[in-house]
Amino acid sequence: MLPTVPVPDKHVADYAETAGEEAVQRLVEAARPLRGLRLLQLNSTAFGGGVAELLATHVPLLNDLGIETTWAVLQGSDDYFAVTKAVHNALQGHPVEWTPQMAATYWERIVANAAEVPGDYDLYLVHDPQPAAVLRVLEEEGRRAGTWVWRCHIDLSSPHEPVWSFFEPLVNRYDAAIFTLPEFVRPGITGPRLAVIPPSIDPLSVKNRPISEETMHEVLAAFGIDPERPIITQVSRFDPWKDPLGVIDAYRLVRRNVPGLQLIMAGSLATDDPEGLAYLDRTEEHRAGDPDIHLLTNLQGVGDLEINAFQQAAAVIVQKSLREGFGLVVAEGMWKRKPVVGGNVGGIRLQIEDGVTGFLVEDVEGCARRVAQLLADPDLRARMGEAARERVRQRFLSLREIEDHLRLFSTLIGEARN
Ligand code: UDP
């Protein structure tokens, strides 16, 4: 059996206050016909990045709803994760060379992991390309059991074709595939039933629940950040798609007119992202010793509470991605009543209503202009922050996403029984 991730208990009833009693009841009803179902969730990291964040909430809540859910993690290797990161980049549009050696490295780990996938679950929910090919191995070995769903979290709007054509037939074996946006569904995906389900944030998590001013100030003090001067924050893995260098350039443009401005860039180093350290070094170089740019990672003790404080402390949140499947950090900032200035790409477009809950920007100059505008106008910040909070409340909280999943599962299980 693959290693599993232990998760603390969570209870759906506790969400009534933020999501509403009606949402709780709807979810309980949607789960009723599925009680006792055994669900295995499979991804490639227990820590760092959006998928691990989602599973840490979904797995305990599904269990609370009576769906016996286990979170298993694929066992990679340095070589394998180097390949799957190249795959991730290629599927988001970067032209990487796809060699037979890379494919062999991928298959070697997939075959080894497939041998460890238990056969006694009703439903398998497989996240992203890293473990996607496990199903094919099981089929070839005559060990396929249960219903299989592939969940794509990345921005598939313009993939590098040689890599996508490797994955397309693997994805086409699934019973269903879930995407964040309709434009991520490639025309060649003709096998699975398709569902569009945007991700969500957990309003009760340590990262998202309200914290006191005092706690926030303690966190800022621990990292040498001045609460009296304006702060802009971007929380992201150190990854070219998150454009940390562009964020620094935008900060520098704004700082010409706001000399006290501080920039917090916090990014965890995920176990399945081998580029993280190298890209952190590049960002550190670009920082060029500026004491008002705070580059912080989990290695310095940045955990969920610290991320919460950094988002809460910001006058403006930035997410200047160049590609983005969804961008949980955007919803996290909006939930904290912050206007978010985000790249006009992928899932960020779904969250930010331009000019209402924040601003969508195309480049460094546009980003700097909008950040400066917001810093100069506290009323606009407050207005957008309220609208942002409401948008997340209506569309991007955990219960809604879990309910969407349960409706899909019911359809699939119904079909499997007939
Ligand atoms: N995150 C974190 N610490 C960090 C950086 C990121 O806890 O230093 C979290 C962040 O708050 C969010 C998730 O990791 O919940 C990142 O998800 P997102 O969808 O924004 O991006 P991904 O990393 O999946 O591309």
Q: What is the pLDDT of residues 278-337, one digit of tens each?
A: 999 999 999 999 999 999 998 899 999 999 999 999 999 999 999 999 999 999 999 999
Q: What is the pLDDT of residues 347-364, one digit of tens each?
A: 999 999 999 999 999 999
Q: Is the CB of 50 under 6 A from ligand 1?
A: yes
Alpha helix stretches (DSSP H) within 288-397: 304-313, 328-335, 346-351, 364-375, 378-395
pLDDT the model gives residue 404 = 98
pLDDT the model gives residue 48 = 82
pLDDT the model gives residue 20 = 92
Structure tokens at 389: 């909070």
Q: Is the CB of 332 under 6 A from ligand 1?
A: yes
Asked whether residue 406 carries a pLDDT value surpassing 80, the answer given is yes
Q: How would DSSP label each residue in 309-330?
A: HHHHH-SEEEE--SS-S--HHH
Q: Is the CB of 56 under 6 A from ligand 1?
A: no
pLDDT the model gives residue 49 = 85
pLDDT the model gives residue 274 = 80
Ligand 1, atom 14, residue with closest C-alpha:
49
Alpha carbon distance 250, 75 (integer Å): 39
Could you give the strand order of the β-sheet that contains 316-319, starting from the edge strand earlier in sequence?
Answer: 293-296, 262-266, 231-235, 316-319, 340-343, 358-361
Asked whether residue 21 carries a pLDDT value surpassing 90, the answer given is yes
Asked whether residue 151 carries a pLDDT value surpassing 90, the answer given is yes
Asked whether residue 271 carries a pLDDT value surpassing 80, the answer given is no
230: left (phi over 0), alpha (psi -120 to 50) or beta: beta
Strands 316-319 and 231-235: parallel
Alpha carbon distance 360, 349 (integer Å): 7
Angle at 316 between CA 258 and CA 374, to 5 degrees: 60
Asked whether residue 366 carries a pLDDT value surpassing 90, the answer given is yes
Query: Which ligand 1 atom sits nearest the alpha carbon of residue 329?
Result: 20
Query: Which ligand 1 atom sits nearest the alpha carbon of residue 302?
Result: 8
Percent of the chain with pLDDT over 70: 100
Q: What is the pLDDT of residues 72-129, one digit of tens each?
A: 999 999 999 999 999 999 999 999 999 999 999 999 999 999 999 999 999 999 999 9
Instruction: Indicate the DSSP class of residue 196.
Output: E
Alpha carbon distance 404, 120 (integer Å): 24
